[in-house]
Amino acid sequence: MKVLFANKFFFLNGGSETVFFQERNFFINNGYSVVDFSMENGKNISSPFTDFFVPNITYKNNIGLIYKIQKAVSLIHSNRATKNIRSLIVQENPNIAHLHNIYHQLTPSIIPILKKHGLKIILTLHDYKLVCPSYLSLKNKKICEECKGQYFWKPFTTNCQYSYGKGLLLSIEAIFHKWKGSYEDVDIFLAPSQFMADQISQRIPVKKIIVLHNGIDTKEYQSSGRDLAYGIYFGRISKEKGIETLLKANNHIANPFPLKIVGTGPLLNVLREKYPSADFLGYKSGQELHTLVANAAFVVVPSEWYENCSMVVLESMALGKATIGSRIGGIPEQIEDGRTGFLFEMGNVEELSEKMALLASDEGLRRRFGKNARKKLEAEYSLSEHCRKLEKIYKNLLN
């Protein structure tokens, strides 16, 4: 079996890339032939297939009109991507194509090429792009389900992107690929949460959707048993992540608990100035991030969008940490309220502050939650089990 893995970023850019490389490395380490397809970038890890990668595409505002139009067209359909992947298939002759985050730079236009050459196609769903052209299911910073997998003109007519130009482009992109039937050639859609599966079923036949939870290496992530009495948030510093709700909640506590904020994003400088009591540490990764989370008392995931199967929650569970998360998207499937952590109403500052205060005042409770979280992680979200299930899906598809 030879598997083609495709993702527009070939470096650790976020949770979707973590999943992508976990799966790719598993198949390499277990003797399978793996073929890579991605976009050129100075941050990329090494690959023998970089000659087939598409040029780096970024979308900036300070460019001429003609160039903007060319970039807009390439966002919808990439001639370079279809040409390069055709050449790669002819040279390597893979059996299966496993696609992850391919939108905008690689584009779904590569899917019909894969099918034409007889490959079985799997697409892992990391966001809601198939039912919401803007992929976040947000409008005016609130949850929105108006497109419902078919009314793809709404990003333009409702101006949910605060830019009619951007909304028009996203609408055209979605309408084009629906008209072309690009996604109809996908054999299996992998949904990392049941919530995601239910959302996508508005457009995709249920028989094509398989729920496969994200996994995490239980050997790499071990509970340290340390608790240095601080709460932590780690992730993107942006509106949909609910970071300001967390900061308000911490200030709402009579005796605010030390709170560390790890990450970067568009709101970083504004929030750092507005909430000086929080410890903003900027971007951290690798062992440094691992240690920060391992030493925390608890983790907060205050998301205000439909999180899928949060890798932040999984990493926290693996490190034996109690987690407080919004009752939204796939998070309630991961956090058992009152057993492995707490859930709270999205955006509810008072409820979040109550849950934070309760954990902050009871070390025994958070240690008990942490132990339960680790057990749940081992039973339901281990990387080895995830990859074994994926391997079985591949084999069943080929048979």
Whether the pLDDT of residue 151 is over 90: the answer is no
Whether the pLDDT of residue 393 is over 90: the answer is yes
Q: Which residues pair with 324 in a beta bridge?
A: 300, 342
> What's the mean pLDDT when you consider all of the chain?
91
Confidence label for 293 from pLDDT (cuts 50, 70 and 90): very high
Q: Which of 18, 46, 16 is CA-nearest to residue 34?
A: 46
Q: What does the angle CA 27 – CA 391 – CA 320 come to, to the nearest 5 degrees?
A: 80
> For the whole prediction, is pTM greater than 0.85?
yes
Give the DSSP H/E element, type plus range, for residue 143. strand 142-143
pLDDT digits (tens, 9 = 90+) for 66-120: 445 556 666 777 899 999 999 999 999 999 999 999 988 899 999 999 999 999 9
Residue 125 vs residue 159, higher pLDDT: 125
Produce one character per residue of 122-151: b if its CB has 16 or more CB atoms within 10 Å, e if not.
bbbbbbbbbbbbbbbbbbeeebbeebebee
Confidence label for 58 from pLDDT (cuts 50, 70 and 90): low
Q: Which residue has the tokens 């949770």?
A: 15
CATH fold, domain 231-380, is: Rossmann fold (3.40.50)
Whether the pLDDT of residue 295 is over 90: the answer is yes
Whether the pLDDT of residue 63 is over 60: the answer is no
Q: What is the pLDDT of residue 105?
A: 86
Confidence label for 65 from pLDDT (cuts 50, 70 and 90): very low
What does residue 263 show for φ and ψ, rounded to 5 degrees?
A: 140, 180
Q: Exposed/middle/buried for 175, CB within 10 Å: 0-12, 13-18, 19+? A: middle
Whether the pLDDT of residue 59 is over 70: the answer is no
CATH of the structural domain 2-215+383-398, one choice from 3.40.50.1220, 3.20.20.10, 3.40.50.2000, 3.30.830.10: 3.40.50.2000
pLDDT digits (tens, 9 = 90+) for 227-277: 999 999 999 999 999 999 999 999 999 887 899 999 999 999 999 999 999
Whether the pLDDT of residue 379 is over 80: the answer is yes
Q: Which of 224, 255, 208 is CA-nearest to residue 393?
A: 208
Distance of CA 222 to the CA centre of its chain: 23
Picking from 62-76, 329-343, 360-374, which range would have the lowest pLDDT averaged per residue?
Answer: 62-76
Q: What is the pLDDT of residue 138?
A: 77
- Non-local (6+) Cβ contacts of 38 within 8 A are 6, 7, 8, 9, 10, 44, 47, 53, 54, 106
Q: Which residues pair with 124 in a beta bridge?
A: 190
Could you count the other beta carbons within 10 Å of the beta carbon of residue 392?
10
Picking from 137-141, 191-195, 304-308, 332-336, which range would have the lowest pLDDT averaged per residue?
Answer: 137-141
Region(s) of the chain under CATH 3.40.50.2000: 2-215+383-398, 231-380
DSSP 117: T
